[in-house]
């Protein structure tokens, strides 16, 4: 036997040994996959089961024409507390953050000099009145002329006018709250000398609150005083309701928008002036309608369709759609109240296919 033949036989022998050693393991490794394939084939041959879906029961919903915009919360009333008279503060009843009622005394300015002048005028008036009485008796006896008596009367009237003027100045020395409200930051202290230019504090009334917002000019002929708005504020999901009470008589030429103000009750003072507001203005109410989620609608070449559940099967229904909202759309025809509409899983269902209702959304 030649050397080449021996080498060939040796290589063949090695391959045979390797094959006998690894073949059982390879066969064992492939066996589960083959069995799984058989199971999958046999399972597919049996056909698919019920499709799991989420549904909703159709109920009539109020449908309104809305305009969504942004706005700002404003106080009902707000004023900077300032004095009409210069002077030194001798009484200060302003506490930052306090709620005060209308007519509450906030501060008093030193008025001792004015009180002294008022007392002096009181004495002068008494003297002038006594003189006028004597002059009247003399006039009745024709002991004096009418001119002399008129001078006495004028003296009484002049002093009375001076007393009224001084009394008005004394009243200005006491500052009172012009309306119910909350005191803001205070900028003066007891003993401070103030003038009409000195800002003392702010007084803000927030109940009710005002909401200022703007809408596109094309809606200017639709919105009316008394229209309702729904709005929310930052960091809160609570919905508030307001009423339009004022509409700007002109459109802003720069933004082509119409400024509007609404008013809303705020007894709990949750609406803080300056807050950002998301506003929904109701332009027109259409009454009740059937509204369905937009994801439940399947567009087609000749319209749209949805799937409803009837007798445990998915039944396709052609629908005519109307007004669209952010997440819903109006159904004009094709569905009725009480229908069970498939909202989730519509891509997996087949016409007249069996379905399994996993959840009912209200």
Same domain, yes or no: 199 and 209: no
Q: Which of 172, 203, 234 is the last residue of a domain?
A: 203
Question: Which pLDDT band, with edges at 50, 70 and 90, does 32 fall under?
Answer: very low
Same domain, yes or no: 198 and 97: yes
Same domain, yes or no: 294 and 279: no
Same domain, yes or no: 175 and 222: no
> Is 180:205 a contact under the CB 8 Å cutoff?
yes
Question: Which pLDDT band, with edges at 50, 70 and 90, does 276 fall under?
Answer: very high
Same domain, yes or no: 191 and 211: no
Output the domain CATH number for residue 279. Answer: 2.40.30.170
Residue 49 has pLDDT above 90, yes or no: no
Residues 186/189/195/198 CA torsion (nearest 10 deg): -30
Q: Which domain holds residue 18?
A: 1-47
Q: Which of 203, 235, 255 is the last residue of a domain?
A: 203
Same domain, yes or no: 115 and 27: no
Same domain, yes or no: 300 and 273: no
Q: Could you tell me which residue, 243 or 361, shows the higher pLDDT?
A: 243
What is the reported pLDDT for 47? 41
pLDDT digits (tens, 9 = 90+) for 253-274: 998 999 999 999 998 888 999 9
Supply 263's token pair. Answer: 């008013």
Q: Which residues contact 252 (CB under 8 A, 6 or more apart)?
A: 214, 258, 259
Contacts of residues 83-86 at CB distance under 8 Å and 24 or more positions apart, as own/partner, are 83/107, 83/109, 83/172, 83/175, 83/194, 83/195, 83/196, 83/198, 83/200, 84/172, 84/196, 85/109, 85/169, 85/172, 85/173, 85/196, 86/193, 86/194, 86/195, 86/196
What is the reported pLDDT for 262? 94
Same domain, yes or no: 133 and 233: no
Output the domain CATH number for residue 325. Answer: 2.40.420.20
pLDDT digits (tens, 9 = 90+) for 199-246: 999 999 999 999 999 998 888 888 888 888 889 998 788 899 999 999
pLDDT digits (tens, 9 = 90+) for 163-201: 999 999 999 999 999 999 999 999 999 999 999 999 999
Note the pTM of the prediction, 2 decimals: 0.59
Same domain, yes or no: 199 and 220: no
Question: Which pLDDT band, with edges at 50, 70 and 90, does 2 fall under?
Answer: low
Same domain, yes or no: 99 and 199: yes
Q: How many domains does the chain have?
A: 4
Q: How far is CA 100 from CA 55, 201, 202, 263, in A?
A: 55, 13, 12, 22
Same domain, yes or no: 141 and 71: no
Q: Which of 178, 203, 228 is the last residue of a domain?
A: 203
What is the reported pLDDT for 109? 93
Same domain, yes or no: 56 and 166: no
pLDDT digits (tens, 9 = 90+) for 293-330: 888 898 888 889 999 998 888 899 898 888 777 788 88
């Amino acid at each position: 036997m030649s050397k080449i033949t021996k080498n060939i036989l040796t290589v063949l022998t090695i391959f045979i040994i390797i094959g006998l050693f690894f073949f059982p393991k390879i066969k064992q490794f492939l066996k589960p996959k083959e069995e799984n394939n058989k199971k999958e084939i046999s399972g597919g041959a049996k056909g698919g089961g019920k499709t799991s879906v989420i549904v909703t029961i159709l109920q009539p919903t109020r449908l309104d024409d809305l305009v969504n915009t942004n706005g700002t919360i404003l106080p009902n009333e707000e004023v900077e507390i300032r004095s009409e008279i210069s002077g030194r503060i001798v009484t200060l009843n302003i506490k930052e953050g306090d709620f005060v009622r209308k007519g509450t005394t906030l501060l008093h300015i030193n008025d001792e000099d004015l009180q002294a002048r008022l007392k002096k005028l009181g004495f002068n008036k008494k003297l002038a009145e006594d003189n006028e009485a004597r002059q009247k008796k003399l006039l009745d006896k024709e002991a004096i002329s009418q001119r002399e008596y008129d001078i006495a009367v004028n003296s009484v009237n002049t002093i009375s006018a001076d007393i009224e003027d001084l009394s008005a100045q004394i009243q200005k020395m006491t500052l009172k709250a012009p309306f119910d409200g909350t005191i803001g930051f205070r900028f003066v202290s007891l003993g401070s000398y103030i003038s009409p230019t000195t800002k003392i504090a702010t007084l803000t009334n927030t109940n009710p609150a005002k909401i200022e917002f703007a809408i596109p000019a094309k809606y200017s002929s639709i919105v009316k005083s008394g229209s309702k708005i729904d709005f929310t504020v930052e960091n809160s999901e609570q919905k508030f309701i307001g009423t339009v009470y004022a509409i700007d008589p002109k459109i802003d030429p720069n933004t082509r928008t119409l400024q509007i103000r609404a008013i809303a009750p705020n007894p709990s003072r949750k609406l803080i002036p300056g807050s950002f507001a998301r506003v929904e203005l109701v332009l027109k109410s259409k009454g009740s309608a059937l509204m369905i989620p937009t994801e439940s609608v399947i567009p087609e070449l000749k319209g749209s369709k949805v799937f409803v559940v009837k007798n445990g099967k998915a039944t396709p229904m052609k629908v005519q759609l109307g007004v669209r909202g952010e997440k819903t759309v109006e159904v004009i025809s094709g569905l009725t109240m009480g229908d069970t509409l498939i909202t989730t899983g519509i891509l997996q269902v087949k016409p007249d296919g069996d379905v399994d209702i996993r959840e009912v959304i209200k």
